[in-house]
Each structure stands twice: as C-alpha cells, then as structure tokens.
Amino acid sequence: METNLAVLIDGDNIPSAHVKEMMEEIAKYGNPTIKRIYGDWTKPHLNKWKNVLLENAIHPIQQYGYTQGKNATDSAMIIDAMDILYSNKVDGFCLVSSDSDFTRLATRLREASMKVIGIGEKKTPDPFIVACDKFIYIEILKNNSKEAENDKNNKEKGSKKTNLEKVTPKVIRLISHTISDVADEDGWAFLGDVGSLLQKKQPNFDSRNYGFQKLTPMINSIDKFEIESRENANSKFKLIYVRNK
C-alpha cells in the first residue's frame, strides 16, 4: 500500500530553485496527495515561486503578515498540519523549511505515528533535523541536477577523490559502530539494516552528502570495511552484507 504524504512548504524560508528535483525526491517516499505552500503572495520576494506552482500542482495559501516581526506563515502551516493530521487522509508529512520553529510540529506529528520527512538548507538548526525521521538537504538536490548535466566532466576531473575527502573520521566511526550494533556473531551486517539504523541515529545522514549516490559505493570506498554479495532466493537482486575489518 502506497504512503500518502502531505507536502507543506514554507515559502518564506525556502528558495524556489530546483523545486522539480525536490518533488521528484519526495515521490521516492510516497504519493504527495496534498501539496501546499504558505506565504504572503503580495510580497515581491515570492514572485519566483509563482512561476513553478502550476507546473508542480502546488496549491498556494495566502497568509498576510498581520504583525511586524511575526511569522504568520509558520502559524498557518502548523494549523493546517494539525487539521490534515486529524482528517486521517495521509500517512506522513513532508515539511519543507529551514526554520527551527517547526521542531515541535515535527515532534507532535511523529507522536501521532506519522512519518515525517524534512527538507531544508544546510543552515537548518539541528533541533528541527533530529525531530524528523529523515532530513534531506536541498543542496544535495542542486548538486544532483548539476551532476546529471556535467557527469562526463566530473569523471575527467577525478571526482572520486573529491568524494573520499568528504568522508571524515567521525562519519567512519558512526558507520563502524552502527555495523557492530546490527552484526551477527561473525560480524556481518545486512546493509539494509545498517542504513535504517544510521537514519534513526542521524536523520540527516545521506550518502549523497558525501558525493555518493548510494550507501554501498560509499562504504566500498572506505578501507575500514569489507563488503560481500550473497544470493537472494526470493529475488534476482543480491543481498549486500558489510562488516568492520
């Protein structure tokens, strides 16, 4: 059964660039049955959003800033989220913002057994990130779209070396400890379980942050781990296992 998602976008706090890539990313996690964006559409800084709303079937919600210095958009988005929650029409939410004001909303939705995916810029405060089940940086989506256009040039420039330089000892320790947490008596851990636990430990963990499209090539590039492919009786796809050397 497909997961129905409510996508709520803070128009005042998110750039309109790469909205197409953003919606494609959201589609990986479920069907975005509700798509709304909040902001004061009388303000010129939202003009760029107006050009992409129709193309992506995103419904704009007008919210005037009644008081100077107060963010009325946040309040409208939070109220709508709670209305949607009690309507029982969705299985999860995608909150698109870099604003920590949505931390309590994300926590409340998860308390109601909703899956919560956050999308925002790398400037997003940690409290909002860890309040989500998964958090995706918009910068990743920007990089992916550029990579698709310049893949040949990247290979010629030796992009693999650049990728490896982004994997810090702290990241390696996180992966190593996670493998140990789910490993069998021989030290082998199913990579799917490793990925799931990494996500729970650190919601913004994503191999794409380090230049790798998938977790397998990322782990394979680190000489601290070894990988083994095993036959799968139920599928033509092999099962990937990993352990610490």
Q: Which domains can be identified in the chain, with CATH numbers?
A: 4-141 (3.40.50.1010), 158-244 (3.30.420.610)
- What stretch of H or E contains 144? helix 138-156
Rounded distance between C-alpha atoms, residue 75 and residue 66, angstroms: 12
Q: Helix, strand, or coil here: 39?
A: strand
- What stretch of H or E contains 36? strand 31-39
Asked whether the predicted pLDDT for residue 224 surpasses 90, the reply is yes
In this predicted model, which residue has the larger pLDDT, 225 or 142?
Answer: 225
pLDDT tier at 1, thresholds 50, 70, 90: confident
pLDDT at 152: 47
| Per-residue pLDDT tens over the stretch 119-156 | 999 999 999 999 999 999 999 887 665 555 555 454 44
pLDDT at 159: 46
In this predicted model, which residue has the larger pLDDT, 225 or 234?
Answer: 225
| Per-residue pLDDT tens over the stretch 175-216 | 999 999 999 999 999 999 999 999 999 999 999 999 899 999
Of all residues in the chain, the percent with pLDDT exceeding 90 is 64
The chain-wide mean pLDDT, for the chain, equals: 87
Tell me the average pLDDT across 161-172.
Answer: 70
Give this prediction's pTM: 0.83
Q: Which of 173, 86, 93, 91 is nearest to 135 (CA)?
A: 93
